[in-house]
Amino acid sequence: MAKVLKCKDVGIDCAFEAQGKTIDEVLKQAAAHARKEHGAKRVTQDYLKSWKKLIRTV
């Protein structure tokens, strides 16, 4: 069982998937990816909150 968050689920046309064993792990990866690939200067708590809802267990 893994937790997955896809860029596509957030509404971004990007093939990236953040994967991890825990929600925190996934959010950490997603935040790093958003900063690096999508030029997000700051990943706010609001972002994290909305991403959290989109995380799926596969």
Identify which of residues 7 and 27 has a Cβ nearer to Zn ion in the complex: 7
Out of 3, 5, 7, 26, name the contact with Zn ion by CB under 5 A: 7
d(CA 32, CA 28): 6
Using CB under 5 A, which of the segments 11-19, 20-28, 43-51 binds Zn ion?
11-19
Give min distance, CB of 10 to Zn ion, in A. Answer: 8
Please, where are the H alpha helices in 1-58? 7-10, 23-37, 45-54
Q: Using the rule CB under 5 A, is 10 a contact of Zn ion?
A: no
Give min distance, CB of 49 to Zn ion, in A. Answer: 18
d(CA 29, CA 51): 12
Give the Cβ contact number of residue 5 at 10 Å.
24
